[in-house]
Homo-oligomer: A and B are copies of this chain.
Amino acid sequence: MTILKELHWIAIDWGSSNLRVWALDNNNAILDSISSNDGMLGLVTSEFEPLLFERISKWGVRDVKIPILCCGMVGAKQGWVEAPYASVPYNLTQEVDSVKVSFSDDRLNVRILGGLRQDNPADVMRGEETQIRGFLSISSNFDGIICLPGTHTKWVHVSAGEVISFRTFMSGELFDLLSKYSVLKHSVKSDGWNDKEFKSAVSESISNPQKIFSDFFKLRADHLLKQVGQSILRSKLSGYIIGAELAGAKPYWLGQNVVILGNNNLSKIYKTALEAQGIFAQEVDATECTLNGLARAFSLITGRH
């Protein structure tokens, strides 16, 4: 059995659709990592423990008391163990909330980080708070807006280490539903991209977000009547949706210092959309932020500040 000699702790990002696990030494350097599509949505409560320990068995963690820290949807009510939401405002540089998973075998030591909640307007995040924590572990004095594009895009107001308020937009999920399951699916079936059409759709939709449901159908009609190409229509669909989101999120980004925390592709699209509104956002890498956030939370929990 291979045991990683320098293994100090294990960081886990366990989301709805994916599982990512990092083996880290005591300087948080990565010794090994695992990535799979064993997302929380495909698992029932009893499956988390055996699945995790099967995946990391090569590191020999059943034999030594290695601390494991998880973030993400694994802490949802339908996940492994529910990790309650903490309320905003919440100081990510000083506070940390987590729950311990209980095992009959006390050599195991697994904690799950809680998400954040906002009561008015009601909103929640689970996983993104760890990414923001990671960003703040590098840029502790950041004051402004963090946009986290994704299935449920978050716009987060951060000041002096605190999450002050946030709003979630279902834009990514809407794009997926419309492009995969709606009458538009044949009209937007393409891997191509047209930046000019995207930007013009963003701008139309920011100015007239109320037209979005008829703009959607217009894509279908443009395809039927004018044979407009699918890569153009896909770019416009994305533009209409992100434009309507930007219209709704305007109180967040207008005149603000904006950071986009996400994966390359989607971040670039949001950056393009914001630039057309005169906002020059900084991009930071989501995976790096996740790992840094887990490391920062681990330090706070273990008292190694």
Contacts and interface: CB of A to CB of B under 8 A. Distances in A.
Given A152-B183, A168-B221, A221-B168, A213 B121 contact: no
B174 A226 contact: no
A128 interface: no
Given A218-B123, A222-B122, A224-B124, A211 B248 contact: yes
Report, nearest first, the 5 A-B pairs whose CB atoms are least far apart: A210-B247, A122-B221, A209-B210, A169-B213, A168-B217
B210 A248 contact: yes
A216 interface: yes
Contact residue range for chain A?
A: 35 or more
A49 to B, nearest CB: 25
Contacts of A216: 170, 174
Q: Name A's interface SS.
A: helix
B181 A181 contact: yes
A121 B219 CA distance: 10
B225 A122 contact: yes
B170 A119 contact: no
A221 B19 CA distance: 24
